Each structure stands twice: as C-alpha cells, then as structure tokens.
Structure 1
Amino acid sequence: MRWTIKPVPEHDQIRILANELKVDEIIAYLLLQRGIGNYEAAKTFFRPQLSHLHDPFLMKDMEIAVKRVETAITKNENILIFGDYDVDGTTSVALVSSYLLEFYPNVATYIPDRYSEGYGVSIQGIDFASDNDFSLIIALDCGVKAVDKVAYAKEKGIDFIICDHHRPGERLPDAVAVLDPKREDCNYPYDELCGCGVGFKLIQALACNRGETIEDLLPYLDLVATAIGADIVPITGENRVLANYGLQVINNCPRAGFQAIIDQIKKRELTITDVVFIIAPRINAAGRMEHGLHAVNLLTETDLGRARELAKGIEQYNTERKGLDREITQEALLQIQENREEERFTSVVYNENWHKGVIGIVASRLTDTYYRPTLVFTKSGDKLAASARSVKGFDVYNALLGCADCIEQFGGHKYAAGLTLLEEQYDNFKAQFEKVVSETIDHNLLTPEIVVDARLELDQITPKLLRILKQFAPFGPGNMAPVFMIENLRDTGYAKRVGQEGKHLKLSLAKDGGKSIGAIGFNLGDKLPLVAHKKTFSAVFSIDENEWNGKVSLQLKLRDLR
C-alpha cells in the first residue's frame, strides 16, 4: 500500500474556521480539505436541504422532454419506460414508471435481456414497442450513444426521450430530447448525476409543470439514493442532498420492496455502505441471473406480502450469484497465475463458459487482487463480451478508445466499462490493450493507495469526535470517510488473529503508556508479526464503533500497518 497524506491546510485557516464554527481544529482541518471554508458552506454540508436541488429546467432539452410527455398524455399515447438491467437502470425504470402511473395508466416497462439483447437500447425493445403500439420510449441510464437504434425507432414512428449520464459519442441520437448533463452543450450546474438522478430531474420537471412540490417527490428518493450508491458516483453537491434524503426514506418509510429486503437481512439503520453492499447486490442479482424486470417488479410492488414473495425469489438469485462469483473468480485467478511469465500492466482473461451475469464482479475481484486494469471475457452469442474495471486514477474508458479498431461496441465510465468484440479479434485486442495501458499508466498507480486525511493522536479519539464525523456522511467518492494515521503505536499484548482461517487482526492499541483503544483489521491477519511482542508500528485507520453484549465502545478500523 502507498500511504499518501493529503495537503495540510494553512494553520490560520484552520484556527479561523474552528472559531467560526465553534468546533475542534481537527474538524475544521477536515472541512477545509473538502473545500468547506466558511459557516455557510459548512451549513450546506452538514444540513443538506431539498431547496439546494437545482432547477431541472436548467438541463438542456428538459422543456422539450416535458412537453412531449404531456402531449403523449393528452393524446392518450402508450409510453414505454426502457432501462438498463443493472441497479441504476432498474431503479430508474421503477422511479419514472411509478411516478407516471400515479396519474396516467398507459405506461409499461421494458428491461433488455442481458444475454439475448445486451446493454442499452435494443432492436428487440424497439420492435416490442412497435408491435404493441407504443409511440414514445423514455430510455433511462442508456441511449446517449444509440444513434442507429433511435433512427430505426424513428422510421417506425416511435419518439425517444433519453435520460443518460454516460459520455456522449461524437454525434447525439436524433431523439426528441437528450437529457444528459455530460453533453458539451448542456450548462446544468452538476454533471455527476447517475442515470436514476437524471430520471429524477425529469419527474421533478414534470411535477413542477403539474403544480407539485419537491416534497411530493420525497417517497421516490429511496430509489435515487440506492442508484447513487450502487453506481459509485460522487456523493457531492446534488447527489449528497438526494442520497441524504433517500437514506432517510429507506430507514423511516421504505417502499414495500426495500422493506421486504430489510426484513430478510434484519438490520436496523442502513448507511450508504449498507445500500451498496446489501441492497444493491440483491437488486443486481435479478438481471445477472434471470431478468432485470424481476427487480423492477419488486421495486414497484405496493403490497408488502407480495413484495416479500418477490424478495425471496431475488434472494435465491443472489445466493446463486455468490456461488458462481466464487467459482469463476478462482478459475480466473488460476488463469492469470498460469500465464504470468512476465510483468504485465493488465489482467485479461477469457472462458467461453463463464456466466455473463457475474463477469463484472469477477473483474472487480481480480482488480482487488492484482491491482491492474482488468477485463473478463465470456462468449455472448457469436461474439465475446467483457466487463472492464480499473485501478484508482486510470481511465479505462480512454484506454478502450485506444483499442477501438479491435472492438465492436463499448461504453462506460472512467473505472468501469463493457464491450463486445469478434472472437478472432481477442488476441489482437489483448495485445493492444496491454500496449496502450503500459504506455499511458503512471506506474505508481499499480500499487494500491490509501489517502490519509490527517495525523491524529490517541487522546484525540473521543465519542464527541465520532459523533461529529458521523455527520460528514453519507460517504462516497468525493466525500470519503476520514482516514487517519498514528505513528509509534504498540499493542498492549492482546494482538491475535481472529475470524475464519485467522484472516482478521484484533488489537488493543496504546502509545507511551497512555489510554488504550480496541482495533480490528479486516484481512490483515498476516500482519500479526509486525505488531507482536509490543513492537512499535504506524497505522492508518478510520474511527468506528464496536457493539458487543449491548455495550458500544470506540474502536479503530485498521486499513494498513507499517
């Protein structure tokens, strides 16, 4: 691990902000690192308000989109809500369809089949719309690069409204409206919305047009918060407001589908991390193992009894997904080990029998293990399909652009992408991807980095500090949970390996004979020799709570030791 300490704010700034906010200097220090330098900025950060959301009509084409939806309603047209099969797509479809169905009945949903149709707008979906007399398709979390598909729909007399957040290609589709804050000609103040966030801006604009207020839309924010967490978009600005209120809905008044999942996992208060690692994988499992429409059905169900039945089915898909994930990860790791005769800058593996629904998860696991830009390929019809994952700081989407002559189709983000290519191009692509990455990546990025916010002393770690740090949440990209560093620590003699196969490390830490504090290091069991026999060491950690036998105590959640 590389330990990188963030730049230290000027001491005068720290002192002035601490006095203005009446907080300890460490809090002012952390706020300044997040670009928060005065009372008003701190108030916005700690107390996000719905009033902080931007006017949806600032988004390019929004007025046109709203007019087209209202025209469809006036003319009694059939509207098809189309979305991708992942969490962002299925929550988007659930959001927009359930909002429209509140006042207009001629609305149906469509999720493409991951295996027969693949990602994004599909010919089959357009044919379905044509065969069933749909004259308007609202595409969510996809469509901004579907130039040919939208043209095909137009030939059939079907209009498109696109709500996307991916980077557009050189040419926009000829849709009625293209809502995408990443459009170069869009001046919307915040361009980090997820697909469901863009869908929310559409219903916010429709609600404004119908005389409704933002408070009327609160019940939909559980879907938006889930998509924000799952799609790993920055939790800053507008996303922070949406995630904050969405979590309140999940914890206080969740829709039946979420309640059914929460009942299964028996957890009290969910954080954004719980949403990412508990809720999102279950919603995703439907599209991975069977069909994304199962997730939409769960998220739009209003009867709790029926929702529990649907959640039970999705739990089964998730169990199957976990088994396949483990099996394929082992096979992929073996393949890398067998072919690692020389230092490589990428990990690219292929097996025609691997399940397409889990290759993205496997790519993430391989990236965690070898810390290289990674692609996992499988057979998909007469082509190969892959999921790409990257390491922090390296844009895998741009790397794929450099291999475009070998690729049939691709799309995605800086850290995650998907692609298809012809089988005969696989070896060419593999060599070219290695070449592009080796020539463009900063070699430091091939070692995992821990970014440290501040140095701390043990006596600064108090319940009061943790109470304030909790108010920095929700955490995520752009606002990560604070990470601290302490040097010259000693274990008090309690250090031991715990958990299955001794994977984890449990300690009781002290410094210079002062107070001790408990610590847990997940997957750090092999570091025991570093701390045994009261050797001195440094640690990076976040501050957490440990609940045991009804007692709650402070503990350090160790990230690395040195």
Structure 2
Amino acid sequence: MRWTLKPKLPIDKVEALKEALQVDDFVATLLIQRGIETYEDARKFFRPSLKDLHNPYLMKDMDKAVQRIEQALNNNENILVYGDYDVDGTTAVALMASYLKTRTTQVATYIPDRYAEGYGVSYAGIDFAHDNNFSLIIALDCGIKAIDKVAYANEKDIDFIICDHHRPGDEIPNAVAVLDPKRPDCDYPYKELCGCGVGFKLVQALAENQGQTPEDLTEYLDLLATAIGADIVPVTGENRALAYFGLQVINSNPRPGFKAIIQQIKKEELNITDVVFIIAPRINAAGRMKHGNHAVTLLMEQDYNEAIKFAIDIETFNADRKEADQLITQEALIQIEVDGEQERLTTVVYNESWHKGVIGIVASRLTETYYRPTIVFTKSGDKLAASARSVSGFDVYNAIDACSEFIEQFGGHKYAAGLTIKEENYEAFKQAFEDTVSKTIDRNLLTPEIKIDAQIHLADITPKFYRILKQFAPFGPGNMIPVFMTTHLRDTGYGKCVGEDDKHLRVTVRQPNAPNIVGIGFSLGDKFDLINDKKLFNAVYSIDENHWNGNVSLQLKLRDIKESF
C-alpha cells in the first residue's frame, strides 16, 4: 500500500474557518479538504436541507419533458417507464412509476432482460410498447447513446424522454427531451447525479407544477439514497443532501420492500455503507440471477406481507449470486495463473460459460487481487459481453474508447464500463487494451493508495472529536470517511490474530500521554509480526464505535500498519 498524506493547507485558510466555526485545527482541515471553506458552506454541509436543491428547470430539456408528460397525463396516454436492470435503473423505475401512479393509472414498467436484450434501450422493449399501445417511453439510467433505437421508436409514433447520467457520444438521440447533466450543452450546476437522481429531478419539476416542494417527495428518497450509494457517485452537493434524507427515510419509515429486506438481515440502523453492501446487492441480485422486474415489484409493493414473499425470493437470488461469483472468481484467477499473465498491466479474461449476471462483481474481485484495469468477458448470444473495472485514478472508459475499432457497443463511467465485441475480435481487443493502458497509465496507480487526511496523536481521539466526525456522514466519493495516521505506537502485549484462519488482527495500542485504544485490522493478520514483542509501528486508520455487551467504546479501524523507524 502507498501511504499518501494530503498536502498541508494554507494556515490562513485553516485559521479563518477555525475561527468562524469555533472548531479545532483538525476539523477545519478536514472540512477544507472537502471544499468547505466558509461558514455558509459548513452550514449546508452539517445541516443539509432540501430547500438547497437546484431548480430542476436549470437542466437542458426539462421544460420539454414536463410539457410532454403533462400532455400524456391530460390525454390518458399509456406511459411506459423503462430502466436498466441494475440498482440505479430499478430504483429509478420504481421512483418514477410510483410518482406517476399518483396521477394516472395508465403507467407500466419495463426492465430489459439482461440476457435476451442486454443493457439499455432495446428493440424488443420498443416493440413491447408498440404492441401494447404505449405512446410515451420514459427511459431512466440509459438511452443517451440509443440513437438508432429512438429513431426506431419515432417510426412507430412512440415518443421518448431520456433521463441518463452517462457520457453522451457525439450525437444526442432525437427524443422529445434528453435530460443528462453531462451533456456538453447542459448548464445544470451539479453534474454528478446518478440515473435515479436525474429521474428525481424530473419528478421534482412535475411536482412543482402541482404546487409541491421537495419536502413533499421525501417518501421517494429511500430509493434515491440506495441508488447514490450503489452507483458510487460522489456524495457531495445535491447527492449528499438527497442521501442524508434518504437514509432518514430508510431508518424511520422505509417502504415495505426495504422493510422486508431489513427484516431479513436484522440490522437496526443502516448507514450508507450498509445500503451499499446489504440492500443494494439484494436488489441487484434479482437482475443478475433472474430478472430486474422482481426488484421493481419489490420496491413498489405496498403490502408488507407480499413484500416479505418477494424479499425471500431475492434472498435466494442473492445466495445464488454469491455462489456463482465465488466460483467464477476462482476460475478466473486460475486462468490468469495458467496463462502466465501476472506481468501484464491489464487483466482480461474470458470463459463462454461464465454467468453474465456476475461478471461485474468478478471484475471487481480481480481488480482487488491484482490491482490493475480489468475486463471480464462471457458469451452472450453470438457476441461476447464484458464488464470493466478500473483502479483509482485511471479512466477505463477512455482506454476502452481508444480500442473502439474492435467494439460493437460500450458505455459507462471512469471506473466501470460495459462492452460488447465479436468473438473473433477478442484477442485483438485484448492486446489493444493492454497497449493503450501501457502507454497511458501512471505506474504508481498500480499500487493501491491510502489517502491520509491528517496525522494525529492518540490523545486527539476524544468522544467530542468523534461526535463531530459522525456529522460528516453520509460518506462516499468526494466525502470519504476521514483517515488518520499515528506514528510510534506500541501494542500493550495482548495483540493477537483473530477470526477464521487468523485472518484479522486485534491490537490494543498505546502512546505516551494518551489512553490505550483497541484497534481491529480486517485482513491484516499477516502483519502480526510488525506489532509483536511491543515493536514500534505506524498505523493508518479510521475511527468508529465498538458495541459490545451494551457498552460503546471508540476503536481504530486499521487500514494498514508499517514498521516505525
């Protein structure tokens, strides 16, 4: 691991904020690192308000989208709410359809089959709309590159409204409205909304026409908080406010579908990490192992007893997903070793029998193992489909785009993408991708980095300091949980390896003039020798609470340790 201590900030900036907020140096530093430099910035950060959301009409084509939907509502047209099969897509569909159902009965949902139709808008979906007399399709979390599909719909007299957040290509589809803050000609002030977030802005605009405010839409924010967490968009600005209130809904008054999932896992209060690692995988599992419609049905179900039945099914899908991704990950690791490809700067693997629904998870696991840009392919009809994942700091979307001569279609973000190629182009694409990455990547990015916010003393870790840190939540990209470094620590002599196969490390650390504090290092069991016999060591960690037998105490969540000189 590379330890990178963030650069020192200008003293005058730190002093000014420290004085304005009456906080200590560490808190002022943490805030400025997150772009919080004034009292007003801090107010919005620590006291999020839905009143601070941007006017939805600042988004390009919002007026056209609202006008067309109002026309459809007034004329009792059939509206099809269409979305991708991942968490962002299914939550977006559930949010939009739930809102529209408060105003019309003429609304239905459509999630493409991951295996038969693939990602995004499909011809089959448009045919379904035509055969069932839908005159308007609202596409969520997809559609920004669906030039030909939208043209096909226009031929069938079906209008499209696109709500997407992926990067557009050179051409924008010829839809009634294309809402995407990443459009070059869109001046919307916040560019990092997820697909569900763009859908929410459309609902916000529609609700304004009815005299409603964002506060009247809080019942939908549990869906939006889940999408924000699952899609790994920055938890800054609007996203942070929406996630903040969405978590409140999840913990105080969740929709029956969420309540049923939470009942399965039996956890009392969920934070954004729990949403990402507990709720989101279960929603995703439906689309991965069966069909995304199961997730939408669960999320829209009003009857708790019915929701419980769907949640039990989804729990089974999730167990199947875990089994499949573990098996495929092992097969992929063996393939890499047998082919002797450990020395490459990229990981590209293929097996025609791998489950298409879990190759994205497998790509993430391989990235964790070898820490390099990774693409996992499987057979999909007469083509090969793949999921790509990247390492921090490297734009895998641009790297794939540079190999476009071998690609049928692709889309995605800086750190995650999907693509389709012809089977005969696999080896050529694999080499082109390796060549592109080799020419463009900074070799330092191939070693995992821990970014450290500040160096502190154990004596600085007080209940008051932790209470302030907790108010930095919800955490995520752009507002990561604060990470600290402390040097010249010693274990009290009771440090040991714990867990299955002694995989984890438990220490009680001490430093002069400071109380002892327990630290737990998950997957750090192999570093026991660094702390044994009361050796001096340095540690990088975050701070959290340990709940045990009704007692609550602060502890260090160790990220890494190194010998201290």
**Shorter-chain TM-score tier:** over 0.9
Q: Does structure 1 residue 56 correspond to structure 2 residue 60?
A: no
The one-character-per-residue Cα deviations of 1:81-112 (angstroms, maximum 9, x if unpaired) are 00000000000000000100012000000000
Equivalence for 1:377: 377
Q: Is 1:28 paired with 2:28?
A: yes
CA RMSD, Structure 1 to Structure 2 (Å): 0.8
5 Å matches for 1:88-487? 88-340=88-340, 343-487=343-487
How far is 1:513 from its partner? 6.7
Q: Give the alignment's TM-score, normalised by structure 2.
A: 0.99
Residue 3 of structure 1 corresponds to which residue in structure 2? 3
After the TM superposition, which of the residue ranges 334-343 and 115-124 deviates more from structure 2?
334-343
Runs of 4+ in 1 over 3 A off after TM superposition: none
Amino acid corresponding to residue 486 of structure 2 in structure 1: I
Q: Distance in 2 between matches of 1:454 and 1:257?
A: 41
Q: 1:495 to 1:117 in 2, by over 3 A?
A: same
Q: Secondary structure at the match of 1:113?
A: coil
1:19 to partner: Cα distance:
2.2
1:15 to partner: Cα distance: 2.6
**Residue 270 of structure 1, CA deviation:** 0.5
What CA distance in whole angstroms lies between the structure 1 residues aligned with 2:410 and 2:29? 42
Could you say if the C-alpha distance between residues 203 and 513 of structure 1 is closer, same or farther in structure 2, counting changes exceeding 3 Å? Answer: closer
One-letter code aligned to 2:102: E
Match of 2:372, SS state, is coil
Structure 1 residues 513, 203: closer, same or farther in 2, change over 3 A?
A: closer
| Larger deviation, residues 13-22 vs 108-117 | 13-22
Deviations 1:415-463 (A, max 9, x none): 0000010100000000000000000000000000000000000000011
With 508-517 and 140-149 compared, the bigger mean Cα shift is at: 508-517
Per-residue deviation, 1:53? 0.2
2:496 maps to 496
* Letter paired with 2:419: L
Q: Distance in 1 between matches of 2:36 and 2:212?
A: 33
Task: For residue 134 of structure 1, give the secondary structure of its aligned residue in structure 2.
Answer: coil
Q: Alignment partner of 1:165: what SS?
A: coil
Q: 1:232: how far off? A: 0.2
Query: Does the CA contact (< 8 Å) of 2:459 and 2:513 recur in 1?
Result: no
Distance across 1 between alignment mates of 2:211 and 2:51? 16
Give the letter aligned to residue 395 of structure 1: D
Instruction: Give the AA of the match of 2:459.
Output: D
C-alpha displacement at 1:13, in angstroms? Answer: 2.6
Q: Is the Cα–Cα contact under 8 Å of residues 221 and 243 in structure 2 kept in the other structure? A: yes
Query: 1: CA distance between counterparts of 2:17 and 2:135?
Result: 56
* Aligned residue identity for 2:358: V
Distance in 2 separating the partners of 1:304 and 1:44 = 36
Q: Would the aligned equivalents of 2:336 and 2:342 in 1 still touch at CA under 8 Å?
A: no
Q: State the one-letter code of the partner of 1:535.
A: K
Shift of 1:531: 0.9
Deviation, structure 1 residue 23: 1.4
Provide the rounded CA distance (Å) in 2 between the counterparts of 1:204 and 1:514: 51
Within 2, Cα distance between the matches of 1:514 and 1:553? 15
- Once residues 21 and 442 of structure 2 are traced to their aligned partners in structure 1, the CA distance between those partners, rounded to angstroms, is 40
SS at match of 1:103: coil
2: distance between equivalents of 1:556 and 1:81? 46
Q: Deviations over 1:135-166 (max 9, x none)?
A: 00000000000000000000011000000000
Q: CA deviation at 1:339?
A: 1.8
* In structure 2, distance between residues paired with 1:37 and 1:213: 29
Structure 1 residues 341, 202: CA separation in 2 closer, same or farther (over 3 Å shift)?
A: closer
- Please tell me the residue identity of whatever aligns with 1:170: D
Percent identical pairs in the alignment equals 69
Equivalent-residue separation in structure 2 for 1:515 and 1:218 (angstroms):
43
Q: CA deviation at 1:16?
A: 2.8
AA paired with 2:330?
Q
Deviations 1:266-293 (A, max 9, x none): 1111100000000000000000000000
Measured against aligned partners, the alpha-carbon deviations of 1:514-552 in whole angstroms (never above 9, x if no partner) come to: 421000000000000111111111110000111111111
Structure 2: how far apart are the matches of 1:38 and 1:156?
A: 54
Structure 2 letter corresponding to 1:332: A
Kindly provide the CA deviation profile for residues 230-264 of structure 1, in whole angstroms up to 9, marking residues without a partner as x: 00000000001100010000001110000001111
| SS of residue paired to 1:48 | coil
Deviates more, 1:34-43 or 1:115-124: 34-43
Letter of the 1:481 counterpart: I
How many Å separate the matches in 2 of 1:104 and 1:444?
A: 55
Q: Alpha-carbon deviations, 1:284-341, whole Å to 9, x = none?
A: 0000000000000000001001001110000000000000011111111111112225
Output the CA distance in 1 between the equivalents of 2:316 and 2:197.
29
In 2, distance between residues paired with 1:334 and 1:494? 38
Map 1:497-512 onto structure 2 (within 5 A).
497-512=497-512
Give the Cα–Cα distance (whole angstroms) in 2 for the partners of residues 359 and 432 of structure 1: 21
1:174-217 per-residue CA deviation (whole Å, 9 max, x = no partner) reads 00000000000000010100000000000000001121221110
Q: Is 1:87 equivalent to 2:90 in the alignment?
A: no
The whole-number CA distance in structure 1 between the counterparts of 2:362 and 2:89 is 21
Question: 1:522 maps to what in 2?
Answer: 522
The Cα shift of 1:33 comes to 1.2
Task: Please tell me whether the aligned partners of residues 256 and 301 of structure 2 are also in contact (alpha carbons under 8 angstroms).
Answer: yes
Aligned with 1:545: secondary structure? Answer: strand
Residues 341, 290 of structure 1: CA spacing in aligned structure 2 closer, same or farther, 3 A cutoff? closer
- Give the whole-Å Cα distance in 2 for the aligned partners of 1:97 and 1:16: 48
C-alpha separation between the residues in 2 aligned to 1:30 and 1:363? Answer: 33
TM-score when normalising by structure 1: 0.99
Aligned residue identity for 1:554: L
Amino acid at match of 2:264: Q
> Mean Cα displacement is larger for which, 27-36 or 250-259?
27-36
**1:50-85: CA deviations, max 9, x gaps?**
011000011000000000001111111100000000
CA distance in 2, matches of 1:14, 1:395: 33
Q: Give 1:342 deviation, angstroms.
A: 6.1
Matching residue's letter, 1:16: A
Which amino acid in structure 2 is aligned with residue 109 of structure 1?
Answer: T
2: CA distance, partners of 1:496 / 1:202: 54
Q: Unmatched 5+ residue regions in structure 1? A: none
| Partner amino acid, structure 1, of 2:139 | A
Q: Which amino acid letter does the alignment assign opposite residue 93 of structure 2?
A: V
2:73–2:103 Cα contact (<8 Å) kept? no
**Secondary structure of residue in 1 paired with 2:291:** coil
